[in-house]
A and B are shown apart, each in its own frame.
Chain A
Amino acid sequence: MTETPQFPLSKRDLLSMIGKTAGATAMLMAMAPLGQAHASTFTGPIKLDGNAKGTSVVILGAGLAGMVSALELSRAGYSVQVLEFNPKVGGRTWSLRGGDTYTELGGFTQTCTFAPGNYLNPGPWRIPTEHGGVIHYCHELGVALEPFQQNNYNAYVHSTQAFGGKPQRFKTIQADYQGHVAELLGKAVRQNALDDAVTAEDAQILLESLRSWGALDSDMRYVKSNASAGRRGWAKGPGGGLTAVPIPSEPLDMATVLQSGLWRSLGSHLTNEHQQAIFQPVGGMDQIAVGFERAVGSMVRLNSKVTAIRQDDAGVTVEYLDTVSGDRLTARADYCINTIPLSILAQIPMNVGGPMAAAIRAVPYGPSVKVGLEFKRRFWEQDEQIYGGITSTDLPNSQISYPSTGYGSKGPGVLLGAYIGGATSYEMSSLSPQERVQRALEWGAQIHPQYRDEFMSGMSVAWHRVPWTLGCSGRWTEQARAEHYDNLCQIDGRVVLAGEHASYIGAWQEGAVTSALDAIGRLHQRVQAA
């Protein structure tokens, strides 16, 4: 490339130039819009070049972070063993389906009676396009993905304080909110109220864009018309033959839209991690665990409860309890990759330095409750034309998510009937599983009265009562990040931590994957340098 670039530049030339001008980070950022990088730090399959030098690694935890580590390190020639508390792999990558039993802390056991094909993902349930690491491993391990309906314009937005508690269609509220905002802004432009902010030339462009964005008429008004009805829904929709003529619906007035508060739900699908396209594994989130099990299952020792971790100059010794036989055993390796959730790790003796020890104790684990409800028929499709997606509500259940698969099935269907955080989540966690299901039913019936006749069974998972996590995920504050995050992620002697808690993508699987790749990359460098 010459000092004075020739135009047009190739994509490669451009990236090289940006790299020189603004540094590597800017180059990475610039790559994204050109389709060469994902939005997380995942940039493609990891390359652990060099020699493992006969090095052994013990990995604690067979969730995504542990299994990514096991897969890549074993490929690079390391000797790998994995210890897992549960009788199966996957960790929070988990699905509950018919025939499963689940016993939470406190002793409540639930037996799932969902029909074949139905399931609840108690933990992660969707995979954004942004999360290239998770998607990469799904592709590599043969885990089929299908679209997850995040934003369904025909699902509801609901408030007990608006429209007499009658749910409204997302598309109706969005169209009316946008239409009125566009009309209002158009008025301001035409009255020259924005002259300080917009040039005369741009004002004309702005008006044209508002007409398009808000479905306004030629006079810049948001009114009853085919254009507005084409977004908010028709009084009588178009068809064929003699009944073909469509009748537009009457928009809500602006005050009604504003005072309903339902606009609060319009932004919920706008963040990068909730934008379409977004995916789910076919058959349940645990299919990712099944895929990893095919690849690394032979390295995993199940039913192994870690009780102490001790490192010395030559290696790491892990003491563990076989929860089936009661035997107390030890594992020994040159290094340890520790993916145990911090809520539990803080309770396990481990001789690391003060900074990492303090970091392990600095991250509280948040609450979260999900309730899955099975109904005799898919009334949300049959009666209300809602195919997947999410209804949001100000009721304590917070949302109802409809299955993104099996459309039109005549058999029973399973909804996510509640997904709750915050104070309400503690209150729900304090209840028995059956009481949680009962509450979710009472709340949901205010939106779908069919609940009362169609309910079959329910399952609930309160994450603070999950025996192997003691909470949903690590919740970092800005202050804790500044003080402890780097110390948590640094290699301490022969121990390095990984998991969603060691990431900036908390509570997402991509955090576990990228933290594991980062940790094993650094560990490999250390082995190369030794």
Chain B
Amino acid sequence: MTKPSMFAILAASAAAVTILGGALGATALAQDAPPIGPNSAGPVRGDAEAAAIASNAPRFVQRTGEDLYMNVCAACHMPDGKGAEGAGFYPALAGNAKLAAKGYPAYVVLQGLNGMPPVGEMMDDDQVAEVVNYVRTHFGNEYQDAIAPAEIAALR
């Protein structure tokens, strides 16, 4: 090995450390998580009333509270709003007293809670308001004070 090539290795290793430091600070680290790519639309929910599935990731395409609930929230809180329990649990939204203050569910949709992802990041203000109002007026919940999109914007 020649002297210059050894110094090249020293320089390269120092550069590699810099690169590593940069990578560790970023979120670009590879995960073996599924790809999030642009998907074209194709019908997913079978019934005509529900929206076409297949949002162009990373945003949801559904517009009404019901469609958003049935295509997003129902994954965990279940279509009947009763939640589920295994090693952990998904709280029931049916008859849930925490929905009394409209700001609380809006905050949870926007910020997430514990393991729940902030799904509101993939919705606009209208969509978040729609789904919050839907949950607060269904599954036995009868809260009539609707939240407005402008209030969602203020909570982001």
Contact = CB atoms under 8 A, between A and B. Distances in A.
A218 interface: no
A443 B42 contact: yes
From DSSP, what is the main secondary structure of chain B's interface residues?
loop
Interface stretch (B14-22, B93-101, B140-148): B14-22
A420 B54 CA distance: 11
A470 B29 CA distance: 22
B154 interface: no
Contacts of A443: 42
B75 interface: yes
A514 to B, nearest CB: 13
Contacts of A369: 34
Interface string B75-104: 110110000111111100000000000000
Contacts of A8: 1
Contact of B75 (A25, A343, A465): A465
Contact of B35 (A342, A399, A476): A399
Interface centre among A274, A367, A423, A481 (most CB of B within 10 A): A423
Contact of A368 (B6, B34, B73, B115): B34
Given A14-B6, A465-B75, A423 B59 contact: yes
Interface string A49-78: 000000000000000000000000000000
A383 B118 CA distance: 44
Given A9-B1, A395-B42, A473 B33 contact: yes
A3 to B, nearest CB: 14
A110 B60 CA distance: 28
A272 B32 CA distance: 12
Contacts of A348: 88
A221 interface: no
B10 A21 contact: yes
B87 A305 contact: yes
B100 to A, nearest CB: 22
Interface string A174-213: 0000000000000000000000000000000000000000
Contacts of A347: 88-89, 114
Given A14-B1, A363-B115, A161 B13 contact: no
Nearest to A439: B44
A30 B13 contact: yes
Interface stretch (A236-244, A489-497, A500-508): A500-508
Interface string B25-38: 11101111111111
B14 A467 contact: no
Interface string A294-332: 000000000001100000000000000000000000000
Given A14-B6, A18-B13, A473-B31, A365 B46 contact: no
A364 B17 contact: no
A233 interface: no
B13 A22 contact: yes
Interface string A424-466: 1111111100010001001100000000000000000010111
Contacts of B29: 504-506
Contacts of A508: 31-32
A343 B116 CA distance: 8
Contacts of A258: none
Contacts of B10: 17-18, 21-22, 26
Nearest to B21: A25
Among A5, A105, A472, A475, chain B packs the most CB atoms within 10 A around the CB of A105
Interface in A10-37: 14, 17-18, 21-23, 25-27, 29-30
Nearest to B53: A427
Contacts of B12: 30
A343 B89 CA distance: 9
Interface of A: 5, 7-9, 14, 17-18, 21-23, 25-27, 29-30, 85, 105-107, 124, 126, 160-161, 264, 268, 271-274, 305-306, 340-344, 346-348, 361, 363-370, 392, 394-396, 398-399, 419-431, 435, 439, 442-443, 462, 464-473, 475-478, 481, 504-508
14 contacts: A26-B13, A161-B40, A264-B37, A273-B30, A344-B115, A367-B75, A394-B40, A422-B58, A424-B55, A426-B60, A427-B75, A430-B74, A442-B42, A475-B117
Given A364-B114, A430-B72, A442-B42, 16 more contacts: A26-B17, A29-B13, A30-B12, A85-B86, A126-B32, A264-B37, A394-B37, A423-B55, A423-B60, A427-B44, A427-B45, A427-B55, A439-B42, A476-B27, A506-B33, A508-B31
What are the nearest 8 A-B pairs in CB distance? A467-B86, A343-B115, A422-B57, A421-B34, A429-B75, A344-B88, A422-B36, A346-B114
